[in-house]
Amino acid sequence: MSPILVLLRKDVAQFRRDRAAMVFAFLVPLTMIILFGQINGVNGRSSMAGQLVGGWAMQFLLFVLVWSANSLFQEKDLGLFQRILSGPVPRSAILWSKFLYGAGFGLLQLVILFAAGGILFGLEILPHLPVLALVCFCAAAACSAFGMLLASLANTLEMARGLSTFCILLMSALGGAWFPVSILPPFLQHVSRFTLVYWSTLGFRQVLWERASLATLLPTIGILIAMAAALVSLAWWRFNRSQIFS
Amino acid sequence: MQAHPDSFSPLGPLVGPSRRSHRMNTPAPALSLHSAVKRYGALTALDGVTLEIQPGEFFGLLGPNGAGKTTILALLAGLRAPDAGEARIGERPAGDPRARRELGLVPQGLALYPDLTAAENLEIFGGLYGLARSARRARTAELLQAVQLSDRRDSLVRTFSGGMMRRLNLAAALLHRPRLLLCDEPTVGVDPHSRNEIFELLRRLNREGVTIVYSTHYLEEASRLCSRIGIIDHGKILALGTQDELLERLPFEEEIRFPATAATAGLCADLAGLGQLATEDGLHRFRPAAGFPLSAFYLAAERRALPSRLFACARPSLEAVFLHLTGKSLRE
């Protein structure tokens, strides 16, 4: 079995044991979706349903994936990289496993939360499931890459936590996770286009509200993939110069 | 402590069958450093270290914290590259993928996943070395038995005592049957029972042909386990040899121990300049300078009317060698 798969399995096994992470990944966003859905009187016939579910799901996905990337610091402190890297395992295997775990986990989290949205608000999920899953995967990959970039920029776990909380809240507000971007001033509407939350929520809206075809979605998906590629490349470059593997 | 050809192991060999033939056919040292220099910013961690460790040796690296022991192991494990000089595993440069497969590293930290079970940890590290599932499982069971953790195989590592974690830390380095084992202070914070179990396992591995490099700042461990010892301080190897060879460097054959009391304070003053006097745990240790006869010591004691029962002659330890070489105690 490839080292990437072994490390992926390790991350999955760790998550299965971490009840707090499970609650934070699924239960907390679900509670927020229900709460704000009730406050705003959201139902499946309004565009708010997709916005609400997608927005909260994205914000919590970012938190979970950034924390997952930050586990690199804990693994470093435990001396695990010394053991792993003294064997026939390249650094890239550690980074790829974190990225793929994040993308896979994100896909699962988004699909589960959208399924819950379908039950709670009557969102039509099943007819669009393949396209929705594709958008979810691209969004999750971009979030995973973003988490890795933040971890690569920080020197310590504390710094990574502070930086990530600030960036996630800012990006969620600007990107349309909390409210539609259209209510922002024109300048901020332009700025929001630089966030992955904007393109992810746009993709969700296109699938669930506008019933867009795959061809129509391609630019949105393309931008998310390009963001994931750019972020992960930057993270790789930073990790190779950081002390995390020393 | 060389490999014993007739060693019997009830659990089956912990290393593969090809080790001894490899040893006999390999003229090169198992591990070597040649004029290795490593700097961390302004700090020179290793200053031109040259070291050769032969196949089957149980080699001890003895020195205080910050002496450069961990850096030597990091170079040999291929985790860091020297700034000058070279590190080799057999005939290959350290860090070469084939060299890495021959190595097992027991890091100083407890390099284990605390939220996974003992068995899961071992299976993950076995998987990273490419062991097939069945081999991984068999090896995990074998090693858990060897470190006496079979009954805790499904317990989370974070519930283990320090000693149990240390034993598992060692087992995790043995999954791929390494020919060379690098141990970086593997008994730090361990209870005497676990320490003895770790020692027994290491001795058994060495008997089966594994070359072991054992870094420690405990001189009792180095003298108990190692067939050859390198004393290191400030990034330099100060002395290298068997324990007897190192003790021969001392200008005296025996040291005199006597209680540190008010009654012996005057004698201590008389001995000033006649040798080294160290005090530890309420006990003075007088190490006479070259040419100073023991009879002169007893004469000085008699002048102070101190009874001879207070004094005991003993063979000096590696601590005395370290003190002789550096002018300071290993514990300082």
Across the range B29-49, mean pLDDT stands at 93
pLDDT of residue B35: 95
Using CA atoms, how far apart are residues B151 and B174, in angstroms rounded to an integer? Answer: 19
Give the bridge partners for B47, in sequence order: B37
pLDDT of residue B229: 94
Distances (CA, A) of B77 to A82, A107, A238, B100, B184: 9, 38, 24, 7, 11
Give the model confidence (pLDDT) of B203-233 as tens digits.
999 999 999 999 998 888 998 999 999 999 9
Higher pLDDT, A67 or B85: B85
Mean pLDDT of chain B: 87
What lies within 8 Å, CB to CB, of B84 at 6+ separation is B35, B36, B37, B48
pLDDT of residue A101: 93
- Nearest residue, CB atoms, B101 vs list A17, A82, A88: A88
A243 touches B at CB < 8 Å: no
pLDDT of residue B20: 44
Give the model confidence (pLDDT) of A110-134 as tens digits.
999 988 888 888 888 888 889 999 9
First-to-last C-alpha distance (Å) of chain B: 30
pLDDT of residue B8: 34
Q: Which residues of B touch A17 (CB under 8 A)?
A: 115-116, 156
Three-state SS string over B222-234 comes to: HHHHCCEEEEEEC
A18 touches B at CB < 8 Å: yes
Q: Do B278 and B287 touch, CB atoms closer than 8 A?
A: yes
pLDDT at residue B328 tops 80: no
What lies within 8 Å, CB to CB, of B83 at 6+ separation is B37, B38, B39
Across the range B163-191, mean pLDDT stands at 93
Q: Within the 160-219 window of chain B, which residues sit less than 8 Å (CB to CB) from chain A?
A: 172-173, 176, 182
Using CA atoms, how far apart are residues A108 and A114, in angstroms rounded to an integer? Answer: 10
Across the range B238-263, mean pLDDT stands at 87
Cβ within 8 Å, pair B112-A246: no
Query: B73-82, B95-104, B266-275: lowest mean pLDDT where?
Result: B266-275
Using CA atoms, how far apart are residues A9 and A145, in angstroms rounded to an integer? Answer: 19
pLDDT at residue B36 tops 50: yes
Query: B3-17, B47-61, B182-196, B301-315: lowest mean pLDDT where?
Result: B3-17
Low-confidence spans in chain A with pLDDT less than 70? 1, 44-47
| Closest listed residue to residue B78, CA positions, set B59, B99, B61 | B99
Cβ within 8 Å, pair A87-B176: yes
pLDDT of residue B5: 37
B249 touches A at CB < 8 Å: no
Distances (CA, A) of B93 to A105, B36, B52, B71: 39, 13, 14, 16
Q: Which two tokens stand for residue A59?
A: 């914000």
- Nearest residue, CB atoms, A87 vs list B114, B115, B129: B129
